[in-house]
């Protein structure tokens, strides 16, 4: 199997719903997302001959997704009262609403699925919440 790996980071705020500990409070991370694709065969002809895909295409796809979340407050849908959301928006804060608890595990699966939806042959995504702690999602 041949593989490519690229990575991107984003800064955002979040809190964990129904979590008992310090992470129930609003706090921030510089999340580091490392994405891997894998194929059995390289491209056979043309501009991308003997490549998995162009590094530039892979890098841009991941960056577009991390840019969507960068410098935002990532909120699990249903975790804040509508009035709270309205006040935050009225203050001009950027909210990123996601339909899951914002764990590193779920974010890894989120990036895996969003990149797969773009037609990339994903094999794994790692999401680091801190330099030492990383969640891995892989399939196939």
Ligand X SMILES: Nc1nc2c(c(=O)[nH]1)N=C([C@H](O)[C@H](O)COP(=O)(O)OP(=O)(O)OP(=O)(O)O)CN2
Could you identify the residue written with the tokens 């990123």?
96
Element (DSSP H or E) covering residue 29: strand 27-39
Active site residue 71: yes
Contact indicator for 103, 16 with CB cutoff of 8 Å? yes
Q: Coil, strand or helix: which one is 2?
A: strand
**Residue 104 binds which of Zn ion, ligand X, none (CB < 5-8 A, kind-dependent):** ligand X
Please give the residue ranges that form the binding site for ligand X (CB under 6 A): 16, 23, 27, 103-105, 129-130, 133, 135
User: Between 61 and 124, whose beta carbon lies closer to ligand X?
Assistant: 124
- 18 alpha-carbon distance from chain centroid: 22
- 23 an active-site residue? yes
Task: Pick the closer one to Zn ion by CB: 13 or 122.
Answer: 13
Chain residues binding Zn ion by CB under 5 A are 23
Q: Which residues are catalytic?
A: 23, 71, 129
């Amino acid at each position: 199997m041949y593989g490519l790996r690229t990575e991107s980071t984003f800064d955002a705020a979040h809190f964990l719903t129904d979590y008992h500990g310090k992470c129930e409070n609003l706090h921030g991370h510089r999340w580091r997302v490392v994405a891997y694709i894998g194929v059995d065969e390289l491209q056979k002809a043309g501009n991308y001959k003997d490549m998995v895909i162009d590094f530039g295409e892979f890098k841009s796809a991941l960056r577009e997704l991390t840019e969507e979340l960068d410098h935002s407050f990532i909120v699990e849908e249903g975790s804040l009262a509508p009035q709270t959301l309205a006040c935050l928006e009225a203050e001009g804060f950027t909210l990123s609403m996601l339909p899951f608890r914002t764990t590193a595990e779920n974010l890894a699966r989120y990036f895996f699925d969003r990149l797969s939806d773009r037609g990339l042959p994903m094999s794994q995504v790692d999401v680091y919440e801190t330099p030492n702690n990383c969640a891995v999602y892989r399939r196939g």
